Amino acid sequence: MAAIGIDFGTTNSAVARVPSGGGVELATFPFEGAFTDAYRSLLYLEQIKERGRNTVKSFTGPEGIEQYLAAETKGRLIQSLKSFLSSRLLESTEIFGKLYTVEELIARILQDLRARAEQQFGIRIDAVVAGRPVRFVGSANDSDDDFAQNRLQQAFQLAGFESGRFEMEPVAAAHYYESTLDHDELILIGDFGGGTSDFSLIRVGPGVRKRGRKPEDLLGNAGVGVAGDAFDAKIIRHLVAPALGLGSEMRSFGKTLPVPSWLYAKLERWHYLSFLRARDVMNTLRTIRAQAVEPDKIEALIEVIEEDLGYQLHRAVQRLKAGLSASAAAEFRFSSGSIDLRATVERQAFELWIWEELDKIAVCVDSLLLSANVGAKDVDVVFLTGGSSFVPAVRAIFESRFGRERIRSGNEFTSVARGLALAAAKFEFD
Ligand SMILES: Nc1ncnc2c1ncn2[C@@H]1O[C@H](COP(=O)(O)OP(=O)(O)OP(=O)(O)O)[C@@H](O)[C@H]1O
Ligand SMILES: [Mg+2]
């Protein structure tokens, strides 16, 4: 039996395994003339006429991006699918007249990850150790998390995995971090992704491994469904939505009303954006355009939805965030078709936009320490990982509590997959 580790992320996925010679090998994926180990967790569906009949083709990851960009008439590009898992309301969705469950859509991505890994590693893969967040996006309690995990498990089964188990994502990151240690430590892991921020307080090191890991080595896990995508939502709310009509007015039956804000609440979440392109929503939008005081803005909103510009918008927001992680100010530019939005954003302004999210993250960390009865001084090292750990305001939460000298980081996009691969090697053995 061959087992691999798969970190199915909200934004990026990664796949790894432990080869017979030891170490960790990552799967790599061709993209834009190079190879990447971070596979964009997106799905692109396109309706194609073949021999006079309509068929739906689906593409994932880099291939999905390339197909989407090349398409004259855009199909449907879905991002952040993982964020649907806890939602009992969304069982299935209609795309090009056919119903798909969330599990089926996710399974398409997992299938391609598995096929690529089999090809690159030259083995038949039947088992997996898969990551899961401590709290799924949108989950309110353990029962929502169980529901979400069951769905994710079904997606893995649909993708052809015969057996496997789940590991908490921050615990997996801890396994990876442990592999770099020559002494034991009590560590706090903070993994900040696209959908979730996850924490583990855990004792690791060669000594712990040698004597055998005990349940009490894991002092606690905590998580919150707030991370990079929630930061993106605030960028869209402040920079993009106003240019697309949020806060503008429409005249209806002699009354002046604000343009409905629910449209923009969907626009700012990647997993909903592509689903705005439905007949009833488009009809509503056309009615609003006819009554709008500033119809050009609604026209631009219609263009974003009709052309399914979520991918370009995501890229623009991602570039801004990376710019703000590196400098005190950065340029925002979202340009596509007749839309051309530009703005200079100060890091300070961005931090004000996301203060609520930062606060939720800080509360989560503090409550983990409190419930484990561990003081900040007892933690030897804080390991920060995941793409959103680059955000200086996220790091500041830890710098103020633990001091810079105790903070480590690295392998932001692969630490979880590396840890899952180490767990998968053990799973093969069991
Ligand atoms: N330099 C950067 N500055 C700020 N944010 C960044 C940077 N690079 C990546 N990100 C953000 O990191 C997030 C993706 O991180 P990552 O790949 O670790 O998430 P994920 O594993 O897919 O998500 P999750 O773990 O929540 O399921 C995105 O929101 C992305 O915009
Ligand atoms: Mg992650």
| CATH number of the domain bearing residue 71 | 3.30.420.40
Q: Is the CB of 199 under 6 A from ligand 1?
A: no
> Looking at the domain assignment, is residue 50 inside a domain?
yes
Q: Is the CB of 80 under 6 A from ligand 1?
A: no
Cα of 387 from ligand 1 centre, angstroms: 3
Tokens of 57: 């083709």
Cα of 166 from ligand 2 centre, angstroms: 14
Confidence check: pLDDT of 92 > 90: no
Number of domains in the chain: 1
> Looking at the domain assignment, is residue 184 inside a domain?
no
> Looking at the domain assignment, is residue 389 inside a domain?
no
Pocket test for ligand 1, best of 6, 10, 192 (most atoms within 8 A of CB): 10
- Which atom of ligand 1 is nearest the CA belonging to 231? 29
In the chain, how many H helices and how many E strands?
15, 22
Pocket test for ligand 1, best of 12, 135, 269, 391 (most atoms within 8 A of CB): 12
Domain, as residue range, for 63: 3-169+417-429
CA–CA dist 246, 236 (Å, integer): 11
Pocket test for ligand 1, best of 8, 11, 409, 411 (most atoms within 8 A of CB): 11
- Averaged pLDDT for residues 248-256: 93
pLDDT tens across 178-200, in order? 999 999 999 999 999 999 999 99
Instruction: Tell me which of 272-276, 362-366, 380-384 is least confident.
Output: 272-276
> Looking at the domain assignment, is residue 175 inside a domain?
no
Task: Please provide the average confidence, as pLDDT, over all residues in the chain.
Answer: 96
> Looking at the domain assignment, is residue 69 inside a domain?
yes
Cβ neighbours of 417 (radius 10 Å): 33
Cα of 75 from ligand 2 centre, angstroms: 27
Q: Which residues contact 168 (CB under 8 A, 6 or more apart)?
A: 131, 132, 133, 134, 198, 200, 221
> Looking at the domain assignment, is residue 49 inside a domain?
yes
Q: Which of 278, 265, 198 is nearest to 10 (CA)?
A: 198
Q: Which of 55, 63, 61 is nearest to 95 (CA)?
A: 55
Ligand closest to Cα of 420 equals 2
Confidence check: pLDDT of 106 > 70: yes
pTM of the model: 0.97
> Looking at the domain assignment, is residue 145 inside a domain?
yes
Helix (H, G, I), strand (E, B) or coil at 204: strand
The answer to whether residues 12 and 194 touch, using CB atoms and an 8 Å cutoff, is yes
Cα of 171 from ligand 1 centre, angstroms: 18
- Averaged pLDDT for residues 374-378: 97
- Write down the H helix ranges in 181-256: 206-211, 228-235
Cα of 174 from ligand 2 centre, angstroms: 13
Instruction: Tell me which of 22-26, 41-45, 92-96, 286-290 is least confident.
Output: 92-96
> Looking at the domain assignment, is residue 19 inside a domain?
yes
Cα of 169 from ligand 2 centre, angstroms: 7
- Averaged pLDDT for residues 107-128: 96
